[in-house]
Each structure stands twice: as C-alpha cells, then as structure tokens.
Structure 1
C-alpha cells in the first residue's frame, strides 16, 4: 500500500513539474515560518510558485521552454527575444538568460541590449533619428565611423597658418610657419588669419629670372644703339673717302660707347687727316 502511494506521489510530481532545460529546480534560499518553509530566492531559471509551503522544492519551478527569468523572486517568466531582420543570434535563449543578438555587416546595435539594428554610417556622414545616415553639411566633417559631424576649425595656434583644405571627410589643416618666412613682414600671419607663406625656392627663382630678363633687355638695347650709330656714321662720312676707309671708321665708331663727336679730334678732323695721308701716298 505504501509502495502504491509512493508511486502515485512521483507521478503527481512529474505532472506538476513542467519540462525544464535544467534539473536544478526549487527554492535556493528559504526561512522557517511556524511550520512552513518560505522561499526568499529561487534557483536560477526558476519562477516562484508560492512563497511558503511544506517542501522548498515545490515553492519554485523552472521556466517553460522559450522563456526565461533573471529575477529570483518573480512569479512569471519572460518570452525569449527573437533575432529578426538584420540581426543574427549570438547566443541562444535559456531559462536563466535571454537571447543575445548581433547585427550584420553594415549595421550596428541601436541600444545597449541590441534589441534593434541601425545602419552604420561611414566617414563623411552622420546618423539620424530615423536610424539612417546623412552627409555632413557644408562647413562640417566626420573622419570617424558612425559619429556626428564636427565644424571645421577657424584658427590655429601661434606660429601656424590655417590651410583651407577641409571637406566632408577632414578638417582644415594647421601648418607650421617656416623660420625664414617669419622674418619677412609680408609673410607674418596673425592668429586667426588665413595666409600662405612664400617659399624661398620660388623667391630665388623669381629673382634669377628677373636678372636674366634685365641682361637680355640690355643686350638688345646695345645692339640697337650700335646699328643706329653705324647708320649715322655712314651718312656723315664724305663720299671722297674710300670704301675701305669708310668701313674702318664705322667699325671703330660703332664699337665705342661715346658719341662720334666725343672721340679725339672729332669725325671731321679724322677725315681730314686721312685725306692728307692719302694725298701724301699718292
């Protein structure tokens, strides 16, 4: 008779205790109250059935499949989260913890629990409240992944100049002034101003080019002066002078930087002397 009663009790217990992912069931911490046992904390994954009773193992029962609880004194279990859309399952649900979801490539978790995913924004854009992305507006940039756009810098530290190269992906640049350029008053840049330092290489090249140009102009002017002198000399020499003597006089006078009348004796005296010499030879 006792054996039959024991068997019936076991069958009754099996029917009352639902399917569980864990065999560790019942109350974990309890206290005695009169002749009853009162549960203060259920075992992990167990929900509270009744607070006090005769048997501490019957005070708590495991959560049903696809449900869980993380509270030791909760009367109810929560439904496991389902990873949907761009989500994927990192860790499946069990009676003591919920499902852990992740987001596929191109998305990221929208909150700490990763209960939803949002589009991941790249450089040059920022996230919006609609879980999407938008490009950085004019005057702002973003050089990080999934962060807000920032404004371009407007000034630089001392001894630096601001180089306006900012766009949606990078900020304006600050470049250090060259030591030599700071000595030139034209290249001194006040804080907050946007100017460019003149390179010493370009300055030297410009001066050299200017010197060459001056030499070319001087040579052209000299050649023109010589041609004009030759023309005037040929016109002023009398016709009685022989062609050979005429050419000699022209060459001598053209190579001189003085006016023909400034030569010793003048052109007329030279012609007269040559004429006398011709007569003596004859």
Structure 2
C-alpha cells in the first residue's frame, strides 16, 4: 500500500515539474535577442551582462563576446545582440570565415615562409600578392628564345621559335630592335678612325709649331751675334 501512494506522489511531482518547465519554455520564447531566460521565474528575460550577447530570441544563456587582440583589431564592437567583428592589423590579411586567422601580407616578388615574407630567389617570380614564387618559363623547351628576361615580379617573355630548334637547346636573349647586325660595330669603328685622325692632326700641328718657334729663336740669336 505504501508503495502505491509513493508512486502516486512521484507521478504528481513529475507532472508538476514538467508543466512548470513547459510553461517556462513557452515564456522563454517571448524573450527577445539581447536577453536570456533564467532558471526560475525571477530570472525571466534578463538582459545579457557586459561583454556578452544573444543574437536570437529564447536563449537560455548569453554568449561571450569575441576579443580582438594581437594581430586582430576591432572592426565592429560587440553589442547585446551581436558579436564583435575583427579584422587584421596593417601588414596582415584575413583568412577563414569571420576572419578567424591573420597571415602576413606579402607583396609581389615575395612569398610567405616560416621566417616571414622573403623575396623570390633568382629564377623564380610571383606576380600576385599572397602567392608563392614559381619558376620562370623555360623558353628552350618549346624551341623559343628569351625576348624579355624575368624578374622576381614577372615571368620571362618568350620570342618566336628558332628555325633550327632541337629539344634541349639553350635559349638566347634576342637582340633589342634598333638596327641591322653590325650597325653598332661600324659606328664604333668610324668614331675610332675619326679620333685617330684628330690625334694625328693635333700632333702634327704641335710639331710644326715647335719647329717654327725653334727656327725663330735661331734667327733672333744670329741677329744679336752680329
């Protein structure tokens, strides 16, 4: 008999607790964003404390605001209804959803290493920001010559295919336009010849001048002796 009454009392208490919980849940749904629904009737729809927020209605607890520290800086401050938004400080850029990671901002001609941003080594280039250095194009593989040499920011520019192409042949830099072959050499020879002529003429003039002066001195001494 005692067990029977005990079971009845336990059942009644469970039903009462269920009804109380359901009524609280129904009431919590009326709590707007920026508040939370407490565990009892005295804590219903309590405003979120400082540095916390609730972005949806009916929350039973407020979420802690994100802190923008280190390489992060605050883009948007936290409010009672929305979390803070962070961005990267100067020299870094955001990665991931919501900017949850910052990476060093390497420029063109650089790549990111464990030691930070490093210039591309000779024979490689990076023409984008935040990219990796890539090898220059080997023009000789396609039988072409190098028209423009590569830099750390740009790839080489290949010229037309050579007539006597054979796989493995080395590429050569195509001479810059500006004249037919040997034009520069002829100009240099002309100026050398002109310079030599001028030097010979100047030397002859000096010798002739010296001879005239010497003859004049001899005549003057002869006159004084008489």
Aligned partner of residue 180 in structure 2, secondary structure: helix
Aligned partner of residue 94 in structure 1, secondary structure: coil
The counterpart of 2:118, out of the listed 130, 134, 147, is 134
Higher radius of gyration, 1 or 2: 1
Q: Deviations over 1:33-79 (max 9, x none)?
A: 998362557522333435xx9x8x97543321111133555433222
Measure the CA separation in 2 of the matches of 1:190 and 1:163. Answer: 16
Measure the CA separation in 2 of the matches of 1:129 and 1:70. Answer: 39
Q: What corresponds to 2:205 in structure 1? A: none
Q: What corresponds to 1:43 in structure 2? A: 32
Aligned partner of residue 98 in structure 1, secondary structure: coil
Q: Which runs of 5+ in 2 are unaligned?
A: 1-18, 191-226
> How much is the aligned-residue C-alpha RMSD, in angstroms?
4.3
Measure the CA separation in 2 of the matches of 1:41 and 1:143. Answer: 56
| Deviation of 1:92 (Å) | 0.8
Q: After the TM superposition, which residues 246-265 of structure 1 pair with which residues of structure 2 at under 5 Å, given as runs?
A: none
User: Is 1:143 equivalent to 2:132 in the alignment?
Assistant: no
Tell me: CA distance 1:48–1:133, structure 2 relative to 1, closer, same or farther (3 Å).
Answer: farther
Q: Deviations over 1:199-253 (max 9, x none)?
A: 69333738x95xx99xxxxxxxxxxxxxxxxxxxxxxxxxxxxxxxxxxxxxxxx
Measure the CA separation in 1 of the matches of 2:94 and 2:158. Answer: 36
8 Å Cα contact 1:158-1:191 kept in structure 2: no
Measure the CA separation in 1 of the matches of 2:71 and 2:21. Answer: 56
8 Å Cα contact 1:68-1:80 kept in structure 2: yes
Q: Which runs of 5+ in 1 are unaligned?
A: 1-31, 214-282
TM-score, reference length from structure 1? 0.44
Aligned partner of residue 201 in structure 1, secondary structure: coil
| Deviation of 1:164 (Å) | 6.4
The counterpart of 2:138, out of the listed 154, 169, 177, is 154
Greater relative contact order, per chain length (Cα 8 Å cut-off, separation 6+): 2
Measure the CA separation in 2 of the matches of 1:91 and 1:133. Answer: 29
TM-score, reference length from structure 2? 0.53
